[in-house]
Structure 1
Amino acid sequence: MKLNFKPYSIGYRTLKTALGVAVAISLAQLLQLDYYVSAGILTILCIQPTKRKSIRAAFSRFIASLIGILYAFIFFEGISYHPVMIGVLIVLFIPLLVTLRFQDGFVSSAVILLHIYDAKNLDMDLLTNELILMLVGFGTALVVNMYMPSIEKKLKSYRYEIENLYASIFREIVIYLRERESVWSGKELMDARKLLEKAKALAYQDVENHIRRHENKYYHYFEMREQQLEIIERILPKITALPVIVDQTDLVADFLQDLSEHVHSGNTAYRYISKLNKVKENFAALPLPDSHEKFLAMAELYQVIHEMETYLEIKQSYKGFQTRKTEAAG
């Protein structure tokens, strides 16, 4: 039996968690808090993949813990410090957190509840101790989570990869139009779809790591490319369904060849819309088909032209990145 192990690695989130726990416990110990090691637990619970998630986690856990203290006062102080009361409290506590959408804070609030149960006396000293403990634990998590490594380089890499894939797809379409045969497996289509999903997820993560930013230029870019990919997937069956080669085929092939050489992030799609209009004019100027098969082929090619017009309009509506490329189009 062969066992497969993941390569051993230490990520930045692991390092932040380790640092946060050490700092939180040290601060709690320095402040001479009871249950000071719990500050480390509270910190662990609030270390999240993004800044916004960390803030939401800290807020949710802080509010849940305050509600937990109130429940502890009602059930422990008001009735009894008995194990049965812990069970009753939890039965009533969890539905309230779910209703208020603070259910993520249950574990941290449970830590505070157990401290109170262990002390058997919810006086002002213990209340102050728990509040400071929460501030130290949640606050430390927020501070260490404010550092997030830049993912700009990775997003840019995804952008270039997608542009190269689109260029490759157009080249394969051109080969098929000109030679009527191809050994292309369509792998680039599947790769582009998977890459777009990864790229959008990463771009969304970047949005979550900026407190005041609510959008990301890369996210909009990958969304635009996703819409274009749907168009490419629609024209492929039309290309492969061509019954015969007609004169108009070369017009479409030449246009797609030109476009394949200028798939970039800049926004000068209007130039290629103009070129496509010229293709339509030349298309209309060619002789009418003299057979049913040629008529079908012309109809399919005209639909391809219409789809490519939509492809370019999608790009034209996108603001685009700053680029030195003067011929950026697709």
Structure 2
Amino acid sequence: MTVSLRAIKIAFATTIAILIAQAFQLEYSVSAGVVAILSVLDTKKSSVTIAIQRVGSTVLALGIATILFQLLGFNTIVFGLYLLVYIPLAYKLNVEVGIAPCSVLVSHLLLEQSTSITWLTNELLLMVIGVGIAILFNWYMPSKEKQLVKLRGEIEEKMRHVLMNFSLVLKNGSSNEKGELLIKELSKDLKTAEKVAYMESNNQLLSQYDDYIIQYIDMRQQQAKILAEMSMDISVCSLPTKQNEILAQLFQRTADQLHESNPVLDLTEDIESLLTDFRMSDLPKTRAEFENRAALFVLLNDFTRFIQIKKDFYEQQKGE
């Protein structure tokens, strides 16, 4: 939710909550507006959850305050005692979000020197009106689908460039600085996409939200971690060997086929073929060749995990 949209929601929700409280002739009607300000949150689900917790917290606070004020009188010391009892209980019952607004409502009882049904109802209605109007205004949330589609495209494009850069490093011994930079950008994009996806999910209350995009982002995050590991090893593979060339071509093919609906069956076969070639090849004759072959083997194993993650994701979606 943008700052401007949030400001509009808060301004209207606060004003209307106060007007409704005044229409019901409630005392301290401005408190309903304050509750509305605190209850306009980033998602529908969080607004409803917090509203329920605050109403529950209000019942708890008013109950404790009523008992203490009736037994010990209406004074500041008793109000402090109320806080000592109420705050730990609020945390224990997971309704601590109501501590501040509920204590303001209890202060009204202290000021009025009364815990009559009329005053208790007054305070409870202030809370219900405030959170109710906030939920009403938070029911409109702009869809994040277009942003998620854009982020998915950017994520896949960066992964393609990382793989193509790996291919160039293996073929030409090029620097991998560009690949390292792309992996950092990829990580940031994935974190952004994850945040947006969960926000979109939390804005679906009445309709069933398809969590495919969340699973997709999780799959790409796993793959991105593997790319980061591969990036550390690929700079060692500097010799122009046959295996370098084959693995470079495999990275290029993967980059060309990197889209979410690809079952990667052909790539799995290519990896098996390359592993067989590794086993059948002559043993390295020099230390440099040995280090190059070992690094290539590690890269191939990591790349096998990279492809397997995508294959598992495809099979899971197909099964559903």
Offset of residue 313 of structure 1: 0.7
**Contact 2:170-2:238 at 8 Å conserved across structures:** no
Q: Which moved more, 1:271-280 or 1:216-225?
A: 271-280
The answer on 1:192 being equivalent to 2:219 is no
Instruction: Look up the match of 2:204.
Output: 210
Judge which range, 162-171 or 300-309, deviates more.
300-309
Q: Secondary structure at the match of 2:49?
A: helix
In the other structure, the counterpart of 2:73 is 80
Please state whether the residue corresponding to 2:313 is helix, strand or coil.
coil
Q: Partner letter of residue 129 of structure 2?
A: V
> What is the percentage of aligned positions where both structures have the same residue?
26
Q: What is aligned with 1:13?
A: 6
What is the deviation of 1:214?
7.4
CA contact (8 A) 2:32 2:130 kept: yes
Aligned length: 314
Structure 2 letter corresponding to 1:97: A
CA distance in 2, matches of 1:43, 1:237: 51
- Kindly provide the CA deviation profile for residues 85-132 of structure 1, in whole angstroms up to 9, marking residues without a partner as x: 212211222122122221111112112102212222222222222232
Structure 1 distance, partners of 2:66, 2:81, is 14
Between the aligned partners of 1:321 and 1:100, the Cα distance in structure 2 is 38
Q: Judging changes above 3 Å, is the alpha-carbon distance between structure 1 residues 76 and 250 closer, same or farther for their aligned structure 2 residues?
A: same
Aligned CA-pair RMSD: 2.3
Residue in 2 aligned with 1:55? 48
Which of 122, 135, 140 matches 2:128? 135
Give the AA of the match of 1:310.
R
Contact 1:97 1:106 in 2 (8 A): yes
Query: Are 1:65 and 2:58 matched, yes or no?
Result: yes
Greater Cα offset, 181-190 or 199-208: 181-190
Paired residue for 2:240? 245
CA distance in 1, matches of 2:213, 2:315: 9
Q: Is the contact between residue 9 and residue 138 of structure 2 (CA under 8 Å) also seen in structure 1?
A: yes
Larger displacement relative to structure 2 (12-21 or 276-285)? 276-285
Structure 1: any 5+ residue segments left out of the alignment? 1-8, 323-330
Using structure 2 for the length normalisation, give the TM-score. Answer: 0.90
Q: Are 1:279 and 2:278 an aligned pair? A: no
Structure 2 residue identity aligned to 1:84: I
| Structure 1 segment 50-199 matched on structure 2, within 5 A | 50-182=43-175, 184-185=177-178, 186-199=180-193
TM-score relative to the length of structure 1: 0.87
Return 5+ residue gaps in structure 2 as ranges: none
> Quick one: which amino acid aligns to residue 280 of structure 1?
L
Tell me how far apart the structure 2 counterparts of residues 174 and 144 of structure 1 sit (CA, whole Å).
52
Deviations 1:128-151 (A, max 9, x none): 222322221111111111221111
Q: Which residue of 2 aligns with 1:4?
A: none
Code of the residue aligned with 1:271 in structure 2: it is: D
Residue 270 of structure 1 aligns with an amino acid whose one-letter code is: L
Tell me how far 1:68 sits from its aligned partner.
1.4
8 A Cα contact 1:266 1:320, kept in partner: no
CA deviation after TM superposition for structure 1 residue 321, in Å: 12
Q: Which residue of 1 aligns with 2:299?
A: 304
| Partner residue, 1:227 | 222
